Structure 1
């Protein structure tokens, strides 16, 4: 999720054919309340796949096929599915991410943090706000702007601190 900015429901609805060589097609989400597939929260979109993500997705699809062969009674196009071929439960995924992030990082993270991380990484690389907004499927850029401004303000503060420590003229010690 940190490499795509996808919502957890979009990840749970991901099908093998949604992943091509260069793009992930997002045209469904898994509604945790109704336990049914639905249109995405805001927009149907395609997400460009960078090399690191492409390699990961190729391996993920291979593991999915192996797992599917181990459960002959199941037939599904989903990437992430339980032993009955249904999408993983949102609550189980949520709890696992919270649990493992706490074990590994010493703090509990929700799945949504990965979405913010993705937006922050794109902002730090100077990707335009409108591009980020389209990529993560925000209806308008105001939502993205809130996260984007937070990151750019932190970057500005870091830059200012770095500049503060630059000296062209040697410091002259005070007279004693």
Structure 2
């Protein structure tokens, strides 16, 4: 979740057929998501919005994780499953995996009690720290509107006064601006 920015209902609904690991770009396609019903059960259906149906490029580290999780599986099998090869249900994952992991992290000094959705926010903060443009973040997260992205994460965008001044100077003088190294 932290490596893709996907919502819980999206990542837990990924099937092997949603993954492409051949070619230049290794990607996953968000095609479906688990939806909570009024009776508190979950149903597999369409993602949250039209723009939530998207393609997400995978880093080499994520490719390794996904390769381990899809080895020997059929196209319709879920990528992330329990030890019994069943799809993860939110409550089951939360109680059996998430809470013990948080408790262990708290013993090691974590002072907060994060939720799984906080991994999505962490993902975005990494992208913003790397100066990834907000429209690219909007597309990666599947936000229907850039306003959602700006309202939720705009406060994290560092002031880019030096970059703005350099761009204006370059436009006025015809010189190319010096690019800041991003680490």
Q: TM-score range by the shorter chain?
A: 0.7 to 0.9
Change (3 A) 1:15 1:124: same
Distance in structure 1 (CA, Å) of the matches to 2:43 and 2:8: 14
* TM-score, normalization by structure 1: 0.72
Aligned to 1:139: 144
Aligned to 2:30: 26
Bigger Rg, which one: 1
Change (3 A) 1:116 1:134: same
> SS of 2:2's equivalent?
coil
Aligned to 2:3: 3
Q: Which runs of 5+ in 2 are unaligned?
A: 160-183
Higher share in helix: 1
How many Å apart are 1:149 and its aligned residue? 2.1
Aligned to 1:117: 122
Distance in structure 1 (CA, Å) of the matches to 2:124 and 2:6: 10
Distance in structure 1 (CA, Å) of the matches to 2:137 and 2:69: 25
- Report the count of equivalent residues: 144
Question: What is the CA RMSD across the aligned residues, in angstroms?
Answer: 2.2
Distance in structure 1 (CA, Å) of the matches to 2:152 and 2:99: 22
Q: Which runs of 5+ in 1 are unaligned?
A: 69-74, 157-176
Aligned to 1:50: 59
* Contact 1:132 1:144 (C-alpha < 8 Å) held by counterparts: yes
> SS of 1:111's equivalent?
coil
Distance in structure 1 (CA, Å) of the matches to 2:36 and 2:67: 27
Distance in structure 2 (CA, Å) of the matches to 1:83 and 1:148: 36
* TM-score, normalization by structure 2: 0.70
